[in-house]
C-alpha cells in the first residue's frame, strides 16, 4: 500500500520532501504535482520502476518519457544545448514546457527516441517538484498521470489513492494542479518547432 503525504504547495515540509526522496532512491514509483498536472516519477537509472510506470499507463516500449530537471545546469548534463537554446530556456524556465533535445551520453538508451536519439526535458514551476528535485540531486524520469482509456490526467489525490494505492509507493497531495498539457518545443530543429501548444506561451516561436 502506498504512502500518502500532504505537502504544502508554497512551503513544502522539508521532512516529507526528504522521505519522498528516500522512496525514490529505494526504487519507488511516486505521484507528484507539477505546474501542468500530476505526474508519475521514478529514479532515472531504475529500469524496474520505469517498467512499473509502463504497466500503470499501459503504454508501449517506445513511449516518450521526460526528464524533469531542477535547473538549466542539470539540463545541460543530459541535453545538447546550443547558446541560442540556452538563452531561450533561460527566459522560459521554470514553466509548463517540454523541450525536445538531442540527448547526451548521460541519458540511458532506453529513454531515447529510437529514431532521433532525442529526450524530452522540463523544469516545472512547482515548489514541491523543485524541492524534490533539489533534494534528490538528479532528474526524475516522468510521465503525465493519465490512466489507460482516459484523455485527461487524474487531478484529485484522493482518487489517485483509491485507484493506485497498490500500484505506486507514494502519492504526494500538493493541491489542485489542473489538467492542461505542457507546450512541446523541438529544440533539436532550427528554427525550434512547436509540436503541441499547451499551457506555455508559444508567441516567441512564431515571430518571423
Residues 169-192: tens digit of each pLDDT: 999 999 988 889 999 999 999 999
What are the Cα distances from residue 116, in Å, to 63, 98, 101, 113, 121? 14, 16, 9, 6, 15
pLDDT over 60 (residue 208)? no
How far is Cα 123 from Cα 131, in angstroms, rounded to an integer? 12
pLDDT over 90 (residue 162)? yes
Average pLDDT (125-135) is: 98
Which uninterrupted H or E stretch holds 101?
A: strand 97-102
Residues 5-50: tens digit of each pLDDT: 999 999 999 999 999 999 999 999 999 999 999 999 999 999 999 9
Average pLDDT (113-131) is: 93
pLDDT of amino acid 70: 96
pLDDT of amino acid 179: 87
Q: Average pLDDT, whole number, for the chain?
A: 94
pLDDT of amino acid 207: 64
The answer, yes or no, to whether the previous bond of 66 is cis (omega within 30 of 0) is: no
Average pLDDT (105-126) is: 90
Q: Please, what are the domains in the chain?
A: 3-200 (3.90.870.10)
117: left (phi over 0), alpha (psi -120 to 50) or beta: left
Task: Give Cβ neighbours of residue 147 (< 8 Å, ≥ 6 apart).
Answer: 56, 57, 154, 163
Amino acid at each position: 500500500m502506498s504512502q500518502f503525504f500532504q505537502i504544502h504547495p508554497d512551503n513544502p515540509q522539508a521532512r516529507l520532501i526528504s522521505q519522498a526522496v528516500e522512496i525514490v532512491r529505494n526504487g519507488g514509483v511516486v505521484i507528484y504535482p507539477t505546474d501542468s498536472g500530476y505526474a508519475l516519477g521514478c529514479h532515472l537509472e531504475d529500469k524496474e520502476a520505469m517498467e512499473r510506470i509502463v504497466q500503470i499507463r499501459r503504454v508501449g516500449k517506445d513511449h516518450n518519457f521526460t526528464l524533469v530537471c531542477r535547473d538549466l545546469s542539470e539540463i545541460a548534463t543530459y541535453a545538447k544545448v546550443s547558446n541560442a537554446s540556452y538563452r531561450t530556456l533561460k527566459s522560459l524556465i521554470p514553466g509548463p514546457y517540454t523541450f525536445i533535445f538531442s540527448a547526451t551520453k548521460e541519458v540511458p538508451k532506453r529513454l531515447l527516441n529510437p529514431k532521433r536519439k532525442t529526450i524530452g526535458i522540463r523544469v516545472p514551476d512547482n515548489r514541491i517538484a523543485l524541492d524534490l528535485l533539489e533534494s534528490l540531486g538528479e532528474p526524475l524520469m516522468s510521465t503525465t498521470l493519465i490512466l489507460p482509456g482516459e484523455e485527461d490526467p487524474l487531478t484529485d489525490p484522493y482518487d489517485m489513492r483509491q485507484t493506485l494505492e497498490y500500484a505506486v509507493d507514494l502519492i504526494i497531495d500538493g493541491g489542485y494542479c489542473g489538467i492542461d498539457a505542457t507546450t512541446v518545443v523541438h529544440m533539436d530543429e532550427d528554427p525550434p518547432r512547436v509540436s503541441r501548444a499547451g499551457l506555455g506561451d508559444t508567441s516567441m516561436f512564431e515571430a518571423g
